[in-house]
Amino acid sequence: MPKRKPAPKESEDGAAGSGPFWSGTITFGLVSVPVNLYPAHRSEQIPLRMLAPTGTPVSRRYYCEQDGREVDGEHLVRGFEIEPGKHVVVTDEELERLAPAKTRDIELRRFVDAGKLDPVRFDRPYVLTPGSESTKAYRLLARVMERTNRAGIATFVMHGKERIVAILAEGGLLRAETLRFSDEIRTPEDVGLPAKTAPDRATVAAFAKAIAGKAKGDLAAVELEDPYVEAMKRLVEKKRRSGERVVARAAEEDEDEPVDLVAVLKKSLARSGAGAGAARGRSRRA
């Protein structure tokens, strides 16, 4: 994976002030457009940790299913199961040889009608911002793609894997949607949908009337809020204040630092939102 670049400076165009997730260049023909890639969303999962009754976090370990002995990380190998209980071992060196060549180019293969892209193929959304002080090429590409309602289909390498991506334009901004490969998409036959039948007119009219009765225009942002996250925050705060089931890791001889679960929760959520993953932390008592 390419190394993360330092955070770009704030520009007159209002470029983001946090570091990009990936940096590269959109290329097609003789055109090159430097871009930065940012995740279009952040995950606000509640990071619950598994603990021992004493409050000490537990760790996951690997063991041999045959004799029950623990296996150190340095002795682990990867294998592809070809039949139950039988694997073909694949080495790290072989995996490296299969990996695509590292590149910072997003190579546009073709342009298609954006309205005909099947949403079921969309995997993960990203935002593309100008990757240089000059934004002329970026803005021109976004304007033409939006005016013609075209999406660019491209390939690029991320996390050592070649991905297919759709580049779209909206409101003068370029965004990207990584696309799922064909073998990742389930067909109606895969899920056992029954064969199509022609419904009678009365049934169609009844369904149309029921749908029209629920039609309310645009979807409000408040309808997409996750009630579980807020409910979990309230539960943790309530239990912290009452002292109910609050456990703390045993302090070392030279320290006396109780665990503030709410502070840990807030810190973990903030770091998860920034793409840093789950976090652990402790705060000193005031």
pLDDT at res. 44: 66
Q: What pLDDT score was predicted for residue 7? A: 36
Q: Where are the alpha helices (DSSP H) in the chain?
A: 92-98, 136-148, 201-214, 227-242, 261-273
Q: Which two tokens stand for residue 91?
A: 């080495």
Share of the chain above pLDDT 90, in %: 25
Give me the pLDDT at residue 263, please: 58
**pLDDT confidence of residue 267:** 57
pLDDT band of 124, cuts 50, 70, 90: very high
| pLDDT exceeds cutoff 90 at 152 | yes
- Please give the residue that has the higher pLDDT: either 272 or 152: 152
Report whether pLDDT(6) > 90: no
What angle is formed at CA 228 by the lines to CA 224 and CA 232, rounded to 5 degrees? 145
Q: Is 50 exceeded by the pLDDT of residue 2?
A: no
pLDDT above 60: residue 261: no
Q: Please report the pLDDT score of residue 251 as a whole number.
A: 52
Instruction: Calculate mean pLDDT across residues 87-99.
Output: 87
CA distance 267 to 155: 36
Mean pLDDT score of the chain: 78
Angle subtended at Cα 170 by Cα 166 and Cα 175, rounded to the nearest 5 degrees: 40
Please check the confidence at residue 24 and state whether its pLDDT lies above 50: yes
Query: What average pLDDT score do residues 223-235 get?
Result: 81
282 versus 97: the higher-pLDDT residue is: 97
What b/e readout covers 191-208, taking b as 16+ CB neighbours within 10 angstroms?
eeeeeeeeeeeeeeeeee
Mean pLDDT over 204-214 rounds to 89
Reported confidence tier of residue 18, pLDDT bands at 50, 70, 90: low
Q: Which of 79, 158, 90, 96 is nearest to 123 (CA)?
A: 158
Query: Which of 133-142, 202-211, 271-280 has the least mean pLDDT?
Result: 271-280
**pLDDT at position 144:** 93
Q: Does residue 168 surpass a pLDDT of 90?
A: yes
Q: Which domains does the chain have, with CATH numbers?
A: 22-43+99-184 (2.40.290.10), 225-273 (no CATH)
Helix, strand, coil % in the chain, rounded to nearest 5: 30, 25, 45
Specify the pairing of strand 122-130 against strand 31-39.
Answer: antiparallel
Q: 46 vs 79, which has greater pLDDT?
A: 79
Residue 165: pLDDT over 90: yes
CA–CA separation, 142 and 173 (whole Å):
6
Instruction: Tell me which of 72-86, 100-114, 128-142, 236-250 is least confident.
Output: 236-250
pLDDT tens for each residue of 59-83: 888 999 888 899 988 889 899 898 8
Residue by residue, DSSP assigns 163-222 as EEEEEEEETTEEEEEEE--GGGSPPTTTTTPPPP----HHHHHHHHHHHHHH--SSPPGG
Residue 202 near residue 209, CB atoms below 8 Å: no
